[in-house]
Amino acid sequence: MSEDKQQAQPQTPQGGQDAGKEPKQGGRRGRGGSARGRGRRPQGRRHAGKQPAVANKGEHILFVGFMGSGKTSVSRVVAKRAGLPLIDIDAYIEKTQGRSIKQIFADEGEEGFRRIETQAMAALAYEPKSIISCGGGACNSAINRGILKALGTVVYLKVPLEEAIARISDPSTRPLLNGERPVREIYEERMPLYRDAADITINTAGKGIGGNVSQVIGALRRNKLI
Protein backbone atom coordinates (compact mmCIF):
# COMPACT_ATOMS: atom_id res chain seq x y z
CA MET A 1 0.00 0.00 0.00
CA SER A 2 1.42 3.39 -0.81
CA GLU A 3 2.42 5.01 2.44
CA ASP A 4 0.12 7.99 2.12
CA LYS A 5 -2.95 5.82 1.70
CA GLN A 6 -2.93 3.83 4.89
CA GLN A 7 -5.84 3.99 7.34
CA ALA A 8 -9.00 5.36 5.90
CA GLN A 9 -10.73 2.23 4.69
CA PRO A 10 -14.40 1.61 5.16
CA GLN A 11 -15.83 -1.31 7.07
CA THR A 12 -16.77 -4.27 4.96
CA PRO A 13 -19.90 -3.18 3.15
CA GLN A 14 -23.07 -4.87 4.32
CA GLY A 15 -26.03 -5.54 2.15
CA GLY A 16 -29.07 -3.35 2.73
CA GLN A 17 -32.66 -3.54 1.74
CA ASP A 18 -32.48 -0.40 -0.32
CA ALA A 19 -29.62 -0.95 -2.69
CA GLY A 20 -31.43 0.63 -5.67
CA LYS A 21 -30.74 4.28 -5.06
CA GLU A 22 -32.11 7.15 -7.02
CA PRO A 23 -29.56 9.47 -8.53
CA LYS A 24 -29.68 12.88 -6.88
CA GLN A 25 -31.50 15.71 -8.54
CA GLY A 26 -29.22 17.14 -11.12
CA GLY A 27 -29.67 20.68 -12.30
CA ARG A 28 -26.71 22.81 -13.26
CA ARG A 29 -23.70 22.04 -11.24
CA GLY A 30 -21.63 24.63 -9.51
CA ARG A 31 -18.15 25.83 -10.38
CA GLY A 32 -15.67 27.87 -8.44
CA GLY A 33 -16.54 26.66 -4.99
CA SER A 34 -20.30 26.66 -5.09
CA ALA A 35 -22.89 24.02 -5.53
CA ARG A 36 -25.50 25.96 -7.43
CA GLY A 37 -28.71 24.42 -8.55
CA ARG A 38 -28.61 21.25 -6.53
CA GLY A 39 -31.51 19.97 -4.57
CA ARG A 40 -30.75 20.22 -0.87
CA ARG A 41 -30.03 16.92 0.74
CA PRO A 42 -31.13 16.15 4.27
CA GLN A 43 -28.61 17.68 6.62
CA GLY A 44 -26.84 16.37 9.65
CA ARG A 45 -27.96 12.74 9.62
CA ARG A 46 -25.11 11.15 11.54
CA HIS A 47 -24.68 7.49 12.28
CA ALA A 48 -22.19 7.79 15.14
CA GLY A 49 -19.89 5.23 13.55
CA LYS A 50 -22.59 2.60 13.09
CA GLN A 51 -23.39 1.02 9.78
CA PRO A 52 -26.62 2.38 8.40
CA ALA A 53 -29.23 -0.31 7.81
CA VAL A 54 -29.88 0.90 4.28
CA ALA A 55 -27.88 2.46 1.52
CA ASN A 56 -26.56 5.95 2.14
CA LYS A 57 -28.68 8.51 0.28
CA GLY A 58 -26.06 10.75 -1.17
CA GLU A 59 -24.55 12.40 1.90
CA HIS A 60 -20.92 11.63 1.17
CA ILE A 61 -18.40 14.27 0.12
CA LEU A 62 -16.18 12.83 -2.59
CA PHE A 63 -12.89 14.21 -3.89
CA VAL A 64 -11.97 13.67 -7.52
CA GLY A 65 -9.13 14.97 -9.66
CA PHE A 66 -6.04 13.91 -11.51
CA MET A 67 -3.23 11.98 -9.82
CA GLY A 68 -1.26 14.49 -7.76
CA SER A 69 -4.16 16.92 -7.38
CA GLY A 70 -4.00 16.55 -3.58
CA LYS A 71 -7.09 14.39 -3.01
CA THR A 72 -5.43 12.20 -0.37
CA SER A 73 -3.88 15.00 1.70
CA VAL A 74 -6.73 17.48 1.37
CA SER A 75 -9.42 14.91 2.16
CA ARG A 76 -7.51 13.76 5.24
CA VAL A 77 -7.46 17.26 6.75
CA VAL A 78 -11.02 18.06 5.69
CA ALA A 79 -12.27 14.84 7.34
CA LYS A 80 -10.53 15.77 10.58
CA ARG A 81 -11.87 19.32 10.55
CA ALA A 82 -15.39 18.20 9.65
CA GLY A 83 -15.35 15.37 12.21
CA LEU A 84 -16.29 12.82 9.54
CA PRO A 85 -14.83 9.39 8.74
CA LEU A 86 -12.31 9.27 5.91
CA ILE A 87 -12.32 6.64 3.19
CA ASP A 88 -9.57 6.36 0.61
CA ILE A 89 -10.83 4.15 -2.21
CA ASP A 90 -7.35 3.05 -3.35
CA ALA A 91 -6.43 2.09 0.21
CA TYR A 92 -9.74 0.23 0.55
CA ILE A 93 -9.07 -1.66 -2.68
CA GLU A 94 -5.54 -2.57 -1.59
CA LYS A 95 -6.83 -3.81 1.77
CA THR A 96 -9.71 -5.85 0.41
CA GLN A 97 -7.65 -7.24 -2.48
CA GLY A 98 -4.55 -7.88 -0.38
CA ARG A 99 -2.49 -6.44 -3.26
CA SER A 100 -1.09 -3.06 -4.17
CA ILE A 101 -2.72 -1.04 -6.96
CA LYS A 102 0.46 -1.58 -8.94
CA GLN A 103 0.13 -5.35 -8.50
CA ILE A 104 -3.54 -5.33 -9.51
CA PHE A 105 -2.60 -3.52 -12.74
CA ALA A 106 0.21 -6.06 -13.29
CA ASP A 107 -2.09 -9.04 -12.63
CA GLU A 108 -5.30 -7.91 -14.33
CA GLY A 109 -4.47 -4.89 -16.41
CA GLU A 110 -6.25 -1.56 -16.22
CA GLU A 111 -9.56 -3.18 -17.16
CA GLY A 112 -9.40 -5.51 -14.16
CA PHE A 113 -8.52 -2.63 -11.87
CA ARG A 114 -11.45 -0.55 -13.16
CA ARG A 115 -13.87 -3.40 -12.44
CA ILE A 116 -12.63 -3.62 -8.87
CA GLU A 117 -12.71 0.16 -8.52
CA THR A 118 -16.34 0.37 -9.67
CA GLN A 119 -17.36 -2.36 -7.19
CA ALA A 120 -15.55 -0.54 -4.38
CA MET A 121 -17.27 2.74 -5.25
CA ALA A 122 -20.71 1.12 -5.35
CA ALA A 123 -20.10 -0.43 -1.91
CA LEU A 124 -19.68 3.04 -0.38
CA ALA A 125 -23.44 3.51 -0.50
CA TYR A 126 -23.59 1.46 2.71
CA GLU A 127 -21.18 3.66 4.63
CA PRO A 128 -22.25 6.47 6.94
CA LYS A 129 -21.62 10.01 5.72
CA SER A 130 -17.91 10.19 4.95
CA ILE A 131 -15.20 12.17 3.25
CA ILE A 132 -14.05 10.00 0.35
CA SER A 133 -10.86 10.29 -1.66
CA CYS A 134 -11.34 8.70 -5.09
CA GLY A 135 -8.70 7.43 -7.49
CA GLY A 136 -7.80 9.68 -10.42
CA GLY A 137 -9.76 7.48 -12.82
CA ALA A 138 -12.98 7.47 -10.81
CA CYS A 139 -14.77 9.67 -13.35
CA ASN A 140 -13.70 7.65 -16.40
CA SER A 141 -16.86 5.69 -17.06
CA ALA A 142 -20.48 6.77 -17.21
CA ILE A 143 -21.27 4.06 -14.65
CA ASN A 144 -18.77 5.52 -12.20
CA ARG A 145 -20.05 9.05 -12.77
CA GLY A 146 -23.56 7.81 -12.02
CA ILE A 147 -22.34 6.16 -8.83
CA LEU A 148 -20.55 9.35 -7.76
CA LYS A 149 -23.67 11.39 -8.36
CA ALA A 150 -25.75 9.00 -6.27
CA LEU A 151 -23.18 8.87 -3.46
CA GLY A 152 -23.11 12.57 -2.72
CA THR A 153 -21.37 15.85 -3.46
CA VAL A 154 -18.37 15.71 -5.77
CA VAL A 155 -15.51 18.10 -5.10
CA TYR A 156 -13.11 18.41 -8.03
CA LEU A 157 -9.55 19.45 -7.20
CA LYS A 158 -8.38 21.03 -10.43
CA VAL A 159 -4.64 21.11 -11.02
CA PRO A 160 -2.36 21.96 -13.95
CA LEU A 161 -0.63 18.82 -15.25
CA GLU A 162 2.91 20.03 -14.54
CA GLU A 163 2.01 20.79 -10.93
CA ALA A 164 0.30 17.41 -10.51
CA ILE A 165 3.35 15.53 -11.78
CA ALA A 166 5.67 17.55 -9.54
CA ARG A 167 3.53 16.70 -6.49
CA ILE A 168 3.76 12.93 -6.94
CA SER A 169 6.58 11.78 -4.72
CA ASP A 170 6.73 8.18 -5.97
CA PRO A 171 5.55 7.83 -9.58
CA SER A 172 6.29 4.08 -9.51
CA THR A 173 3.09 3.60 -7.44
CA ARG A 174 0.99 5.03 -10.33
CA PRO A 175 0.96 2.46 -13.15
CA LEU A 176 -0.56 4.95 -15.61
CA LEU A 177 2.44 7.23 -15.25
CA ASN A 178 4.57 4.37 -16.52
CA GLY A 179 2.19 3.07 -19.17
CA GLU A 180 2.07 3.38 -22.93
CA ARG A 181 -0.17 6.41 -23.19
CA PRO A 182 1.33 9.87 -22.80
CA VAL A 183 0.20 11.35 -19.47
CA ARG A 184 -0.87 14.60 -21.17
CA GLU A 185 -3.26 12.65 -23.36
CA ILE A 186 -4.86 10.98 -20.31
CA TYR A 187 -5.03 14.35 -18.53
CA GLU A 188 -6.71 16.11 -21.45
CA GLU A 189 -9.16 13.29 -21.97
CA ARG A 190 -10.20 13.46 -18.32
CA MET A 191 -10.60 17.21 -17.86
CA PRO A 192 -14.16 17.32 -19.25
CA LEU A 193 -15.08 14.20 -17.26
CA TYR A 194 -14.04 15.77 -13.96
CA ARG A 195 -15.89 18.96 -14.91
CA ASP A 196 -18.96 16.95 -15.74
CA ALA A 197 -18.90 15.07 -12.44
CA ALA A 198 -18.12 18.09 -10.27
CA ASP A 199 -20.55 19.85 -7.97
CA ILE A 200 -17.82 22.03 -6.51
CA THR A 201 -14.57 22.91 -8.30
CA ILE A 202 -11.53 24.07 -6.37
CA ASN A 203 -8.65 25.50 -8.35
CA THR A 204 -5.59 24.21 -6.50
CA ALA A 205 -2.97 25.79 -8.80
CA GLY A 206 -0.09 27.36 -6.92
CA LYS A 207 -1.58 26.65 -3.50
CA GLY A 208 -0.42 24.37 -0.70
CA ILE A 209 -2.56 21.90 1.22
CA GLY A 210 -3.57 24.55 3.80
CA GLY A 211 -4.90 26.95 1.16
CA ASN A 212 -6.79 24.23 -0.63
CA VAL A 213 -8.29 22.89 2.59
CA SER A 214 -9.53 26.38 3.54
CA GLN A 215 -11.20 26.78 0.17
CA VAL A 216 -12.83 23.36 0.38
CA ILE A 217 -14.06 23.91 3.94
CA GLY A 218 -15.44 27.32 2.95
CA ALA A 219 -17.32 25.88 -0.02
CA LEU A 220 -18.70 22.97 2.01
CA ARG A 221 -19.90 25.30 4.78
CA ARG A 222 -21.47 27.76 2.33
CA ASN A 223 -23.41 24.88 0.87
CA LYS A 224 -24.32 23.57 4.35
CA LEU A 225 -22.69 20.24 3.62
CA ILE A 226 -20.66 20.19 6.84
| Residue ranges that bind ligand S3P, judged by CB under 6 A | 67, 71-72, 90, 101, 135-137, 174-176
CA distances from 208 to 39, 78, 89, 117 (A): 32, 14, 23, 28
**Nearer of residues 13 and 175 to ligand S3P, judged by Cβ:** 175
> What angle (nearest 5°) sits at the alpha carbon of residue 18, between those of residues 54 and 150?
90
Rounded to whole angstroms, the Cα distance separating 17 from 53 reads 8
Contact 199, 40 (CB under 8 A): no
**Nearer of residues 128 and 136 to ligand S3P, judged by Cβ:** 136
Provide, rounded to whole angstroms, the least separation between the CB of residue 138 and ligand S3P. 8
Provide, rounded to whole angstroms, the least separation between the CB of residue 135 and ligand S3P. 2
> What angle (nearest 5°) sits at the alpha carbon of residue 97, between those of residues 158 and 180?
50
Provide, rounded to whole angstroms, the least separation between the CB of residue 125 and ligand S3P. 19
Rounded to whole angstroms, the Cα distance separating 141 from 114 reads 9
Provide, rounded to whole angstroms, the least separation between the CB of residue 152 and ligand S3P. 18
**Nearer of residues 120 and 226 to ligand S3P, judged by Cβ:** 120
**Nearer of residues 104 and 220 to ligand S3P, judged by Cβ:** 104
Rounded to whole angstroms, the Cα distance separating 192 from 186 reads 11
